Chains A and B, each alone.
Chain A
Amino acid sequence: MSRQAGRGTESKKMNSELFTLTYGALVTQLCKDYENDEDVNKQLDKMGYNIGVRLIEDFLARSSVGRCHDFRETADVIAKIAFKMYLGITPSITNWSPGGDEFSLILENNPLVDFVELPDNHSSLIYSNLLCGVLRGALEMVQMAVDVKFVQDTLKGDSVTEIRMKFLRRIEDNLPAGEE
């Protein structure tokens, strides 16, 4: 996906450390404002949702992937194209449920948590919960209702970060024409 000339010739690469710092500042400020890990998790999810509903159009505009016809295709696109495009990592897809409606994304490294350690008083904080909101918001805009949650987190001592995604249902209201 090459960008057109209208984008300007300066390099679009930004320092990923600035990104990590920005996200960290965001989470710590939320912790100060809400003082309660559950509320912070909810806010991160909401913020992620708002990002997701906008990010999906950027993704579709730049990657020209077509509509996915089943959850497996969706999983592939998310792991191999979307994560690669936005975070530069390619998680692996495992643990498919027998019905084919749930899978796990295993992230070896998570750019959001470079240099981060969770203190003991924030043990129920889901630091990267923004990602769950982003995935939920983006898929909702393409008529898929999903449930996304972290089941393992390197910040809490697990060996890998695992995100579990479950397909709930197809969103039938406001379907674009031609999608039956």
Chain B
Amino acid sequence: MAIFSVYVVNKAGGLIYQLDHYAPRADTEKTFSFPLDLVLRPHDERVVVAFGQRDGIRVGHAVLAINGAEVNGRFTADGKDVLEFLGNPANYPVSIRFGRHRLSSNEKLMLASMFHSLFAIGSQLSPEIGSSGIEMLETDTFKLHCFQTLTGIKFMVLADPRQAGIDSLLRKIYEIYSDYALKNPFYSLEMPIRCELFDQNLKLALEVAEKAGPFGPGS
């Protein structure tokens, strides 16, 4: 719970592995009757709450499911436009699930390559020569730690700001990569990692690191 995600980026900046390790955000599902007291509007490919925060439903939350069926962007599971559907009193009472939108895999790919470029900018901006790239990015809700190997692969871990021992976790992830991904002869270098053993061992390592808590791993 204190380690949120792991990203592995290859030499060219492409995302080859991604794992989300946090508990699912609290989604809120409620039954509504016509008229809806929340104001919804389309945003990118989703329908979000623009106004009318209540009961755990906050501004910015997206419509995740209607009547139990997950929505597909701006359309319901059976292809109807969400806003039209919710504007029609005949469809009520309706049960809608709201929650924070999770990143799609395309978005993650894009963000990973953006980070790859920013990482390089970090070393170029430096007043000293031979500086490394961005090693840590801090926000108020998480810290992103990045470790680049001598061969150009980057391992990134997003964790709680108070979580310690991330450096050794990054080295451990490198070991797990060199074992379960590279020693698998059917895995081609620089390609997306689809190795069960890698997944399992990575999750184990994350759990060990989390148990150690804010004091870092024990002996």
Contact = CB atoms under 8 A, between A and B. Distances in A.
Interface stretch (B23-31, B77-85, B97-105, B169-177): B169-177
A56 B183 CA distance: 11
A142 interface: yes
Contact of A61 (B119, B130, B178): B178
Contacts of A141: 151
Contact of B182 (A4, A54, A64, A66): A54
A58 interface: yes
B183 A54 contact: yes
B171 A6 contact: no
Contacts of A66: 150
A178 B133 contact: yes
A25 interface: no
A177 B122 contact: yes
B130 to A, nearest CB: 7
A170 interface: no
Contacts, number: 70
Contacts of A56: 151
A9 interface: no
B204 interface: yes
A180 interface: yes
A98 interface: no
Contacts of B95: none
B149 interface: yes
A174 interface: yes
A56 B122 CA distance: 26
A178 B131 contact: yes
Given A58-B178, A178-B120, 5 more contacts: A4-B175, A60-B150, A60-B174, A176-B151, A178-B132
15 contacts: A6-B208, A53-B189, A56-B151, A58-B178, A58-B183, A60-B150, A60-B151, A61-B171, A142-B150, A176-B148, A176-B149, A176-B150, A177-B148, A178-B120, A178-B130
Interface of A: 4, 6, 53-54, 56-58, 60-62, 64, 66-67, 141-142, 174-180
